[in-house]
Amino acid sequence: MRAIRQHAFGGPDELRLEDVPDPRPGSGQVRIRVESAGVHVIDTAIRRGQQTGVFALPELPMTPGREVAGMIDELGDGVDPGWLGRRVVAHLGMASGGYAELAVAAVDALHEIPGSLDAHGAVAMIGTGRTMMAILEVAEPTAADVVLITAAAGGIGSLLVQAARNAGATAVGVAGGAKKAALAGELGATVAFDYTQPGWTGAVRDALDGREITLAFDGVGGDIGGAFELLGIGGRLILYGWSSGTPLTV
């Protein structure tokens, strides 16, 4: 089969298309004929060799990719025969191997794809979607909230904008760049701002006209920590990532 292989940490030029042996599923595993694979900020950090602390870096050479969707074409020992031929989405954990024509996944990591969803949509939601759901279980936004969402045009941020809107809350989207801020507005943010512009926190205060942020979601860290300053007394700040490369310290 063909696969994207990486022999050294670095930029995208370290990713090479190579021919490698077809993987075989072990006990409790299945093999998936890959239709779509996910790409996240963490995947690019792993590629650069900069993902340290939270996750150990994989050994090289490796085939990147932790999320795949496609059809099961082979079963390992002990797997229910009913899985064969089903279209599924799976998170491979840190085992990687998703950027390939074939990938192996544990049977307990499988989710059947409903007929109304294509492979691209399924793989986009397997990690991002469940992270968003976990955040909402903790935050429980209501119509009384004024919610600030950083990285509001990103994978998780764009879902949180829509969730805040659906809860009836006032959604304040913050994104890096005018186009991304505009997208946050299209997704349902009541107001949206470009945090690369100086004075964005003041612009947020002016737009809210005396109302305070009661709930903030931050997946960026670093300089976007100004979001913390906007919280009103008793406000809640939920940190779920640091796409800037610098965790937010409080």
Domain ranges across the chain: 2-126, 131-239
What local confidence, expressed as pLDDT, does residue 103 receive? Answer: 97
What local confidence, expressed as pLDDT, does residue 241 receive? Answer: 66
Q: Read off the pLDDT band of 240 (50, 70, 90).
A: confident
CATH superfamily of 131-239: NAD(P)-binding Rossmann-like Domain (3.40.50.720)
Range picked from 62-66, 195-199, 207-211 for highest mean pLDDT: 62-66
Tens of pLDDT, residues 2-51: 999 999 999 999 999 999 999 999 999 999 999 999 998 788 888 988 76
To the question of domain 2-126 being in CATH 3.90.180.10, the answer is: yes
What local confidence, expressed as pLDDT, does residue 95 receive? Answer: 63
**Structure pTM?**
0.82
What integer best gives the mean pLDDT of the chain?
Answer: 89
What local confidence, expressed as pLDDT, does residue 81 receive? Answer: 97
Over range 159-186, report the average pLDDT. Answer: 95
Question: Which is nearest to 67 in space by CA: 28, 113, 2?
Answer: 113
